[in-house]
Structure 1
Amino acid sequence: MDAPKEITYAGGPLRGHLRLTGSKSIANRALLIRALTPGGFEINGLAAADDTVRMQKLLESEDEVLDCGPAGTTYRFLTGYLCRRRGIQLLTGSQRMKERPIGILVDALRTLGADIEYAEKEGYPPLRIGYSALDKSDRVSIAADTSSQYISSLLMLAPTLPTGLKLTLEGEIVSLPYIRMTLAMMEHFGVHHHWEGQTIVINPQTYDSRPFTVEADWSAASYYYSLAALAEEADLRIDGLFEDSLQGDAVVSKLYEDFGVTTTYTPEGIHIKKPAGTPPPPLFEHDFVECPDIAQTLMATCAGLGVQGLYSGLQTLFIKETDRVKAMKAELGKLGVSLYKIPPRMAGKTGIQYFAQEGKADFAAATPTFSTYHDHRMAMALAPLALLHPVRIEHPEVVEKSYPDFWGDLAGLGIR
């Protein structure tokens, strides 16, 4: 593992021009759809991110043991896909992956007739998966507040099933933009669907073979919005992003307007600016249910500027690469910033779980060393605080999971 990385900034306006890596979420969906498409197709703009490289290798592998490492999206997508592949495979992963539940997806696939056994602990990876026609049923119900990756795994498999799939989402739907992303990509490849209430209906169809280009990653863009908000003045051009995006995290351009960061769309991407002397808002409030991957970024921004935060929709963060809420609470605590759960009685009868954040980052004691918990987003969310004071990031190599060029791109902006 790499030694802790110390990050510093000399000060002054933040200016620069870069091109972002392709979206991991889109790339992994494209790779799975290609594997399900007769004849395959060409994919342009695939990032060198660990998750994407791993997904591509495992789809092409004929090994009986397939190791997803820490790649959650890869694991969940392959769980469905391997049910339709001849032979028996053992699908495993890192120690953290073995602590991340998979039972909801396994139960859904078993309803369809899947041959899946737990190789170790009930409800968790690794899985032993055999081939099945998946013709036992064409109806599945799944909790709508579960991971969208479970739902997307079932949806992309659906058109290849003997009688298609009627997938009912029970309760409040979380991460809806990721479900829409999956359905939009399936439409791009000629697979149609329709909604009946909260049931998504997909008839048996064949994916069309056509070239595909992966757009840049709005989750990665969030770190540059955070940098702009924390800078005394900012003028950044970022290529590869588009206003009409499949990604729910594109909402980041709207959220950072509260911090004085404006976005102009260009033929190449975006131009973000923050004028000198822009005051931060006293309070930032947001429901992250449709964009959980940018929650940590906003928490770090609020900490750096001393903005009080009120957050909801964080429920999917507890089962990511780490418990991201617990991890952010620990790391922001090193700066004297508190992140805490508001007692349910104070939320009234809404049933919504709120978290509050208070305090402004205090660097008086020493240069903070942030732990990353094997989580790429912890490293990238906390790194922008270097604009205010030098910081150290433990295990900086974790960014290779989704954005291997991150540290080099920061260096291009004068952040050493």
Structure 2
Amino acid sequence: MQYTLQFEKKTDSVQIQLPASKSISNRLLLLNALSYSPFEIKNLSDSDDTKVMLNVLNSDTSTFDVGAAGTSMRFLTAFLSKIVGEWTITGSSRMKQRPIKILVDALTQLGARIEYIENEGFPPLKIFGCALKGGELELPGDISSQYISALMMIAPTIENGLTLKLTGDIISRPYLNMTLALMKEFGVTGTWKGNSIIIPEASYKAVQTSVESDWSAASYWYEIAAINPELSVTLKGLKRYSLQGDSNVQKIYKELGIETKFSQKGVNLVNTGKKCRKLNYDFINEPDLAQTVAVTCCLMNVPFHFTGLQTLKIKETDRISALINELGKMGYLLESNQKDNLIWSGDKKDVSGTIEIDTYKDHRMAMAFAPASFTGVKISVNDPMVVTKSYPHYWEDLKLVGITSAE
């Protein structure tokens, strides 16, 4: 499927009900299961990733296909390793290329029995669930935070609990802090001292809880507000004091002229018209925002130098290469001379005609590039429904501001 996008100005103001956070939803689902909670989670995300988690946790089978849901693969691998039984977990072709060895090795040290069905170090997995025994584990801090969060959440249910010693640079700290905060809501208090996260053996308590809106989804509206000075955007459901690291989108887009104002109606995005000459930013704590900000900077003619992108190579696709390829089609000449950076010095060549944007089965590629239509660029988006991974009603919301999508 392919969407060809067209823009026709429709309104000067728009109010958007953002989807619920899938990062929070997926953690709450696992904590709900670990606490044997009878309560339903309110405002649960309707994203593909969350539906996968929900289906697996409510399933009466022993074989699970998580598709492209990386969070579900990591969280469920840890969860199933302590649930007595024989389990098989697999995913999409891309999922079978995403490494999981670090997590499997860590679980094995705790007594888990896990076998690789196809390729060493990658899904699919055969898991023989059993009682685990804790202690101290040493892990590199620059791996995906999902590995660490998966271990953190099952830690209280393991004999003697768990101490995770993180070595080297620690990336995506906000996601680990989010996990600790949500665990505390369920009655378990972990501590983070220096490079060690210490979680005692304890019992989770069932609680009633709800999910706040997704700051990652908000980023696409910050992009839209940045390239549409006359458009007033109000976003609903966001919390000023959020658990989500991607709430730092406020700080990043202030450099691109967007002021964030909270009111009873929601978050109002105000375009001040004041943008920086060049944006230098370390995305070590917010890697999921990098695609949106890169496209925004190009569309606004703001050169940039981004670092802290090392996890982008193991996401739904190699996001650094994908950005270089697709922005290149639009004439923007990007480069990356290290494993964790992305640079645009302002070089651009002229292009004409309709530009086909490949999404690489990556929801964030589709959502980051679609707003380019506002600038008069003619684009078509391949595999547009990939957005259901995190923001199922994205294309419907874009219609509210005049972007229509025709097959």
Task: Please identify, of 312-321 and 355-364, the stretch whose mean Cα deviation from structure 2 is larger.
Answer: 355-364
Counterpart AA for 1:402: S
Give the deviation of 1:194 after TM superposition.
Answer: 1.5
Provide the rounded CA distance (Å) in 2 between the counterparts of 1:196 and 1:258. 33
Q: How far off is 1:6 after superposition? A: 1.7
Whether the 8 Å CA contact 1:12–1:233 is kept in 2: the answer is no
How far apart are residue 11 of structure 1 and its match?
4.1
Name the structure 2 match of 1:349.
Answer: none
- Give me the whole-angstrom Cα distance separating, in 1, the residues matched to 2:266 and 2:128: 44
Q: Deviations over 1:106-154 (max 9, x none)?
A: 000001000111111110001100122112x421111100000000000
Deviation at 1:361, TM superposition (A): 6.6
Percentage of identical aligned residues: 43
Match in the other structure for 1:240: 237
Q: Kindly provide the amino acid, as one letter, of the partner of residue 404 in structure 1.
A: P
* Alpha-carbon shift at residue 41 of structure 1 (Å): 2.4
Query: Whole-Å Cα distance in 2 between the matches of residues 269 and 242 of structure 1?
Result: 9
Unaligned runs of 5+ in 2: none
Deviation at 1:268, TM superposition (A): 4.2
Residue 308 of structure 2 is aligned to residue 308 of structure 1 = no
Q: Report what 2:64 is aligned to.
A: 66
Q: What is the one-letter code of the residue matched to 2:263? A: T
Deviations 1:224-254 (A, max 9, x none): 0000111132211110001100000000011
Question: Which amino acid counterpart does residue 206 of structure 1 have in structure 2?
Answer: S
Mapping of 1:7-406 within 5 angstroms? 7-11=5-9, 14-135=12-133, 137-275=134-272, 278=273, 280-342=275-337, 353-359=340-346, 364-389=351-376, 390-406=378-394
Tell me the alpha carbon deviations over residues 184-226 of structure 1, each in whole angstroms, 9 at most, x when there is no partner: 0001111101233211111111111111110000000000000
Q: Residue type matched to 1:339 in 2? A: L
TM-score w.r.t. structure 2 length?
0.96
Give the Cα–Cα distance (whole angstroms) in 2 for the partners of residues 364 and 14 of structure 1: 30
Does the 8 Å contact 2:85/2:130 carry over to 1?
A: no
Counterpart code for 2:261:
T
Q: Matches of 2:231 and 2:126 in 1, distance apart?
A: 51
Seen in structure 2, the aligned counterparts of structure 1 residues 271 and 373 have a Cα distance that, compared at 3 Å, is same
**In the TM superposition, what is the alpha-carbon distance from 1:13 to its structure 2 partner?**
6.8
Alpha-carbon contact 2:65-2:91 (below 8 Å) kept: yes
Partners of 1:22 and 1:363 in 2: how far apart? 39
Cα 1:378/1:129, change in 2 over 3 Å:
same
**Which amino acid is the alignment partner of residue 322 of structure 2?**
A
1:167 & 1:240 partners in 2: Cα distance? 34
1:248-298 per-position Cα deviation (integer Å, ceiling 9, x unaligned): 0000011111111111012343011114xx254220110000000000000
Is 1:414 the equivalent of 2:402?
A: yes
Amino acid at match of 2:375: L
Partners of 1:237 and 1:199 in 2: CA distance: 40
- C-alpha distance in 1 between matches for 2:5 and 2:12: 15
- More displaced, 174-183 or 279-288? 279-288
**Shift of residue 61 of structure 1?**
1.1
Tell whether the 8 Å contact from 1:380 to 1:399 is kept in structure 2 after alignment.
Answer: yes
Separation (CA, whole Å) in 2 of partners of 1:78 and 1:272 = 37
| Alpha-carbon distance in 1 for matches of 2:345, 2:196 | 41
What is the SS of the residue equivalent to 1:177? helix
**Secondary structure at the counterpart of residue 404 of structure 1:** coil
CA distance in 2, matches of 1:403, 1:354: 27
1:14 and 1:228 in contact (8 A); partners too: no
Deviations 1:318-353 (A, max 9, x none): 0000000000100000011112123x6xxxxxxx94
State the shift of 1:354 in Å: 3.4
- Counterpart CA distance in 2 for 1:194 and 1:358 is 42
Q: Which moved more, 1:125-134 or 1:145-154?
A: 125-134
Q: Which amino acid aligns with 1:97?
A: M
What residue identity is the alignment partner of 1:160? T
Query: Which 10-residue stretch deviates more, 57-66 or 209-218?
Result: 57-66
The 2-side partners of 1:280 and 1:14 are apart by 21
How many residues in Structure 1 have an aligned counterpart in Structure 2? 403
Q: How large is the Cα RMSD of the aligned pairs?
A: 1.6
Give secondary structure in 2 for the equivalent of 1:212: coil
